[in-house]
Structure 1
Amino acid sequence: MIDWNQIRELRSATGKEDFAVIVDLFLEEVEESLRNLENRTGAEDLRAGLHFLKGSALNLGFTGLSCLCQQGERTGTMDIAEIRGCFARSRADFLAGLGLCEES
């Protein structure tokens, strides 16, 4: 799930060029965070990784991903395949909807 209002607000606040840089950085950081999550040991270490990912996702309007990370943060467990799948779907929806978002 994508929060398009959050995306419009962020793009309006940063400008089109800086927004593109933010998006690229976000997508790279999420990929790196997902790789790092697979190597985390211990509940606190896992919670810290999920907390970072949750905040990053929420800042860019990836609410579904943020919710999954929040659940894992609360329980100290995660289903990395579910998180990866949610990110892949959200990224596809986000990239497909960017053009529509710019028109509104």
Structure 2
Amino acid sequence: MINWPRVKQLWDEVGSDEFEAILRIFLREVQGVILRLQQETERGQIEQNLHFLKGSASSLGFDQVSKLCQDGERRAAAGNEMDAHIAEIVAAFYASKTEFDTKRKRHLR
């Protein structure tokens, strides 16, 4: 779910204070994207939101979410039904967030 080496790399690059600021921004922005994804019906907007979420999730090591978003971008571009896939992305984000919250102190020393 979480790419801990990527998380540790970012932590080492920016330091703990900056990392915490990046994390807060990420979590706030993801909440907004999730709300938009759950309400949006226009395929182009869905693709844009998934693209943003894919990149943000990848940057912070939320690999499963990033991969699901990449698949979602392809599905949206193909005109496929998105409700179930968006629900899967949302569930993966919250599961990843839980793992991140419970294991991050162990990985970020």
TM-score, normalised by the number of residues in structure 1 = 0.93
Q: How many residues align?
A: 103
Q: Alignment identity in percent? A: 38
What is the aligned partner in structure 2 of residue 38 from structure 1?
Answer: 38
Distance 2:48 2:100 in 1: 25
Tell me how large the CA RMSD over aligned residues is.
Answer: 1.1
Q: Please tell me the residue identity of whatever aligns with 1:37.
A: L
What is the aligned partner in structure 2 of residue 81 from structure 1?
Answer: 87
Gaps of 5+ in 1: none
Contact 2:11 2:108 in 1 (8 A): no
Distance 1:81 1:72 in 2: 11
What is the aligned partner in structure 2 of residue 19 from structure 1?
Answer: 19
Secondary structure of the equivalent of 1:61?
coil
Secondary structure of the equivalent of 2:61?
coil
Q: Deviations over 1:12-62 (max 9, x none)?
A: 111100101111111111111000112222221111110000000000000
- Higher mean alpha-carbon deviation, 71-80 vs 93-102, is at 71-80
What is the aligned partner in structure 1 of residue 96 from structure 2?
Answer: 90
- Higher mean alpha-carbon deviation, 72-81 vs 16-25, is at 72-81
Q: Please tell me the residue identity of whatever aligns with 2:67.
A: C
Distance 1:62 1:96 in 2: 14
What is the aligned partner in structure 2 of residue 5 from structure 1?
Answer: 5
Gaps of 5+ in 2: none
TM-score, normalised by the number of residues in structure 2 = 0.89
